[in-house]
Amino acid sequence: MNTQQIMTTGEEFFLHTYNRFPVVLDHGEGVRLFDTDGKSYLDFFAGIAVSALGYGHPAYTKALQEQAEKLIHVSNLFYNEPAVKAAEKLCRLSGMEKVFFCNSGTEAIEGVMKTALKYAYTRDGRTGHEIIAMKHSFHGRSLGALSVTGNDHYQEPFRPLISGIRFADYNDLESVKALINENTCAIILEPVQGEGGIFEATEEFMTGIRALCDEKDILMICDEIQCGMGRTGYMFACEKYGVKPDVMAVAKALGGGLPIGAFLTNEKAAALVPGDHGSTYGGNPFACAAACAVMDAFEKENLAENAAKVGAYMYEKLEALKEKYGVITAHRGIGLIQGLEFSVPVSDIINRALKAGLIIISAEGNVIRFVPPLIVTEADIDEMISILAEAIEG
């Protein structure tokens, strides 16, 4: 099929849950993607912060080829070596102690919610517990994950959702304290809100949440699905604050493009037992081989350090754009997760950038989000800035 036929056929058969760009992507190399017409795009999107290693990474590709020739799936009724290796690596990198593999970030959030509820049930032998989440958060679109997503726009058509969820103001510790009661079992937050507009937690907020959870014997849950895996310049964003959660959700960059998610717990929070939770495909050897290759690349290529270094350079360049163009009203972020807020519709800028060969995406609040592969260079930043400036000027 040619490009137009692919798009037309897709529109005929896909359920229309996405407004897709009129581009058919075909292959990638490094930080560039190519469409079926051969046009090149500089990628500052990374499949929504997924493709940390970029495209065509030799060691990653080799690991997938080798595993595909051996074994794709066996189920969790048996052990497989890639899953065991991935579990060991992920626990070591995160400082957590137990891991459950699933297929996505949304599934990881479902798991952390069940973990919190089971922990509280085991602790006091009753049900009816509550979870405190944050306004303007985003944790996924399943009914459970949507229930802790603090955005009426996403929730409204699907109510009633799971009960017992209360929403506090992000970076307002007093608003959290006001919601805690005898039924509270967990507090869930993103150290950096991605979809919510690129808002970073303050140190006072993170350390305060940790202290509250310790005092009240409730679980601190960090959603590191987008901001984790090196993107902030730290392997996990909570490390910046010297805070270790009881439960952590990860996904996106963990598989480098293969569908895999996970939630991790410390020993205290490891309340789930056989029969409490499961996943047919979670932890399959193919996805776990991908995760192992990603984590090996992080260590061998110092990708978190690159995110910190190049991210600081990107911050400087985006800050200069903010000073130059009055339509940019705010600049936020850390490492390679940053955002520019505009007073004009960002959709027009994003579309003009796409035509010029730059892929960028939006976030809540009329924000352009910058989440490139973690292998990005300062030269790539310069090219992005040049194209973006032209797109802003129209």
Tell me which residues are annotated as active site: 138, 223, 252
Closest by CA position to 227, among listed 261, 259, 209, 200: 200
Contacts with 229 (C-beta within 8 Å, 6 or more apart), sequence order? 52, 235, 236, 250, 252, 253, 254, 294, 298
Which DSSP state fits 374?
A: T
d(CA 337, CA 233): 9
> Are residues 290 and 64 in contact, defined by beta-carbon separation less than 8 angstroms?
yes
Query: E strand or H helix at 320, and its extent?
Result: helix 303-324
Q: Is 99 exposed, middle or buried (0-12, 13-18, 19+ CB in 10 A)?
A: buried
d(CA 49, CA 252): 6
C-alpha pair distances (Å), 127 with each of 121, 164, 196: 6, 11, 31
Q: Which two tokens stand for residue 144?
A: 């459970």
Computed on alpha carbons and rounded to an integer, the radius of gyration of the chain in Å comes to 21
Chain centroid to CA 53: 15
